[in-house]
Amino acid sequence: MKLPTVQLVRQTAPQLTVADVAAETRRAWLESSLAKRLKPGMRIAVGCGSRGIKNYLTIAKATIDALKELGVKPFVVAAMGSHGGATPEGQRGLLASYQIDEAHLGVEIRTDMDAVTIGTNSWGEPVWWDKNALEADGVVTVSRVKPHTDFRGTIESGVVKMAVIGLGKRLGADQHHRWGYRGLRDMMIESVKVIIDKTPFLGGLAILENANEETAKLEVVDRDALLNREPILLEDARKLMGRLPFAALDVLIVGECGKNYSGAGMDPNVVGRLLIEASPEMELEAAKPRIVRIGCVDISPESHGNGTGIGISDLTTNRALDSIWKVPFNMNNLTARFLWRSKLPIAFNTDRECIEMCVETCWQPIPEKLKFAMIPNTLEVAELWVSPALAAEARTMDGLEVVGDAREIPFDVYGKWQQETMFPHSVRGRRTGGH
């Protein structure tokens, strides 16, 4: 099959950016109302665990240093629900992959999975919380606020979710996910009220990122303001997040699915597919852009075998499916209970076959009209390669720049897409040195 030539399109809209991340993190903590709750000598648990945060080590280290400057004794607790196979070793390994470890932070890292019941929420359900956190004098989180991949609500991903699901460990994650999206959208807020009332939880650092995955805003939110302030920060994050610039695509090729890019592997907010069981109205609401066929050729090694979200794509490769490890994959998906997204798609021996079949089955038989795009993952969408039909559309749109000349899609002699040469600045490109 003759595949389309592709041309680079760059999103150029100005982005809000924090110039000095470490200094701004320090300022956010020291000037916050939360700081007034801290007394010298207090043992403060710092919940960490969010994936895909730019400058995560810098922010975590600056948080630890600021807390020490305030006279307290910080240590880190894993706030990751059931990730890492829901084992202490798995969660320690995941944190270490973000350089959140003793060597880089200079404080103890606790990844025990023990959780205790602290009370009952308004649904009559027990609320679980990390035992190490509960025994501390105070608890804060380092959390990215962003639209969630599983539901729409006034509060989605952020400080509240990390306090409830992350610090709830496997039991807390299971408790809420067993209710489906209602357990996240509705019950999570009721559970955090119990946490605020019954635990030493103090609040958290909210991190917002722009469309280029750069730190855009840092704000410490006190527990007393949390339920009013986080919805405002969520709307700010929604406006800042990276998106595909086109309303409709016939084909989208994604280089890598991965937990380091999105909790859903591929962000439904980017590809327009929620795939929530028994919730067609949510699927329709989220379907922007409209994409007929999605192909994903690989799973990132940073996912540690967790291929969650591979089912958001229609077609994939045998290489991607072979990289899935059954234990973390099953644990994460059975706990989350969003199963449609991880049904295994039809797979092919080579990337080229996968991409060709995406084009063959996309319902657009006229090559000149084919709306075809390629991205490295759903987190890094500031640059994408597109077919001539989309390049022509991009030239008429504000905030888009068409760069250079059209080229053939590069494959090696085995039919593997050489995506590193097209996206040298992506996570994969940096991992492989751009080749």
pLDDT at 50: 67
Tokens of 93: 């390994």
pLDDT at 423: 97
- Which is nearest to 241 in space by CA: 312, 151, 157, 147? 147
pLDDT at 287: 55
240-242-243 Cα angle (round to 5): 120
Cα–Cα distance measured from residue 208 to residue 238, given in angstroms and rounded to the nearest whole number: 9
170 Cβ contact list (under 8 Å, min separation 6): 81, 82, 86, 113, 115, 335
Hey, is 174 helix, strand or coil?
helix
Cα–Cα distance measured from residue 374 to residue 425, given in angstroms and rounded to the nearest whole number: 15
DSSP strands (E only) in 268-427: 290-296, 315-317, 346-348, 372-375, 383-386, 400-407
pLDDT at 276: 82
Q: What are phi and psi of 294, to 5 degrees?
A: -115, 130
Which DSSP state fits 312?
G
Cα–Cα distance measured from residue 280 to residue 301, given in angstroms and rounded to the nearest whole number: 32
By the 8 A CB rule, do 299 and 309 touch? no
Pairing of strands 201-209, 215-222: antiparallel
Q: Return the amino acid letter for 236.
A: D
Cα–Cα distance measured from residue 156 to residue 147, given in angstroms and rounded to the nearest whole number: 6
Q: Mean pLDDT of successive 10-residue segments in the chain (435 residues)?
A: 95 94 98 96 94 90 98 96 84 90 96 95 96 97 91 92 95 90 93 98 97 94 98 95 94 95 89 81 61 97 91 97 92 85 95 98 97 96 97 96 97 97 94 78
Cα–Cα distance measured from residue 82 to residue 173, given in angstroms and rounded to the nearest whole number: 7
Pairing of strands 201-209, 138-144: parallel
Pairing of strands 248-254, 372-375: parallel
74: buried, middle or exposed (CB in 10 Å: 19+, 13-18, 0-12)? buried
pLDDT at 191: 97
- Residue extents of the structural domains in the chain: 21-240, 243-432
- Which is nearest to 204 in space by CA: 46, 49, 18? 46
Q: Supply the pTM of this predicted model.
A: 0.82
CA 96 to chain centre: 17
pLDDT at 280: 63
Cα–Cα distance measured from residue 184 to residue 150, given in angstroms and rounded to the nearest whole number: 8
By the 8 A CB rule, do 25 and 62 touch? yes
Q: Return the amino acid letter for 380.
A: E
Tokens of 96: 């270490």
59 Cβ contact list (under 8 Å, min separation 6): 21, 22, 25, 53, 142, 205, 207, 215, 218
Determine the CATH number of domain 21-240: 3.40.50.11440
Hey, is 370 helix, strand or coil?
coil
pLDDT at 109: 96
- Which is nearest to 9 in space by CA: 350, 304, 384? 384
pLDDT at 282: 52
